[in-house]
Amino acid sequence: MTRVKICGITRVEDALAAAREGAHAIGLVFYERSPRHVGIAQAAQLAAALPPFVTTVGLFVDADPAFVRAVLAAVPLDLLQFHGDETPEYCTQFGRPYLKAIRVKAGVDLLQCAARFSTAKALLLDAYVAGVPGGTGATFDWGLIPRNLPLPVILSGGLDPDNVAAAVERVRPYAVDVSSGVEAAKGIKDAAKVAAFINEVKRIDVQLS
Ligand SMILES: O=C(O)c1ccccc1NCC(=O)[C@H](O)[C@H](O)COP(=O)(O)O
């Protein structure tokens, strides 16, 4: 079964719609320069609204460790996602499970990345776009992903209801992650697109089983 993470949630109704449609995880962006940025109080409300068994992921980009700790003290995050140039030592200092995002471009050695971040629960593979750390809506060449990565792969970057089935068929990831491709506007999810995205993942899973 391919898991689904809906990232960049800012509204309780979007969190609930994602959970209702079967999302396994939601992502909360604690990066001030993102149009999907959430404050600590808002994030606490979002996390509290979720039903059980939906994972809450907190996303950071080269954040001050004190800020990450302040978020952790107020918001019951299940997983941390580090989306910048963090080192393995930085990522492990919080004593929490984490995902390491890698922005993929030609020449990147993903086997080396997996060895470097062996303490991560998974690698989240996103598109490299200069100057923008994430949420770009851009895809990357899925052929750059080795078949034998020793960590689970969360495929991300420019996925949407029209291309996610092809992505799952090609990459066979542990999970897929989407933000722009299911939005009505930046930070505002479109419930119909979220449903279509998750239904496409379910459909291709059945077809591949
Ligand atoms: O979503 C953002 O605005 C964002 C900003 C800075 C760093 C990461 C960000 N999002 C991370 C995600 O996990 C997105 O889902 C991922 O980048 C894919 O985004 P998209 O291509 O828009 O589906």
Whether residue 21 has its Cβ less than 6 Å from ligand 1: no
% residues pLDDT > 70 (the chain): 100
Residue keyed to tokens 């809450």: 56
60 beta partners = 82
Protein residue with its CA nearest to atom 7 in ligand 1: 134
ipTM of the complex: 0.98
Protein residue with its CA nearest to atom 14 in ligand 1: 135
Task: Write down the domain spans for the chain.
Answer: 3-208
Q: Is 3-208 a domain of CATH 1.10.150.130?
A: no
Sequence-distant (6+) residues with CB within 8 A of 107 are: none
Q: How far is CA 135 from CA 33, 127, 186, in A?
A: 11, 9, 9
Whether residue 5 has its Cβ less than 6 Å from ligand 1: no
The ligand 1 atom nearest the CA atom of 139:
21
Q: Check residue 43 and give its pLDDT.
A: 98
- Would you say the C-alpha torsion 46, 47, 50, 53 has a positive or negative sign? positive
Q: Check residue 39 and give its pLDDT.
A: 98
Q: How far is CA 123 from CA 1, 76, 116, 149, 205, in A?
A: 18, 22, 11, 9, 21
Catalytic residue among 14, 126, 160, 177: 126
Which pTM does this prediction carry?
Answer: 0.97
Q: Check residue 156 and give its pLDDT.
A: 98
Q: Check residue 3 and give its pLDDT.
A: 98
pLDDT tens digits for 153-206?
999 999 999 999 999 999 999 999 999 999 999 999 999 999 999 999 999 999
Confidence of residue 72 (pLDDT cuts 50, 70, 90): very high
Alpha carbon of 180 to ligand 1 centroid (Å): 8
Q: Check residue 173 and give its pLDDT.
A: 98
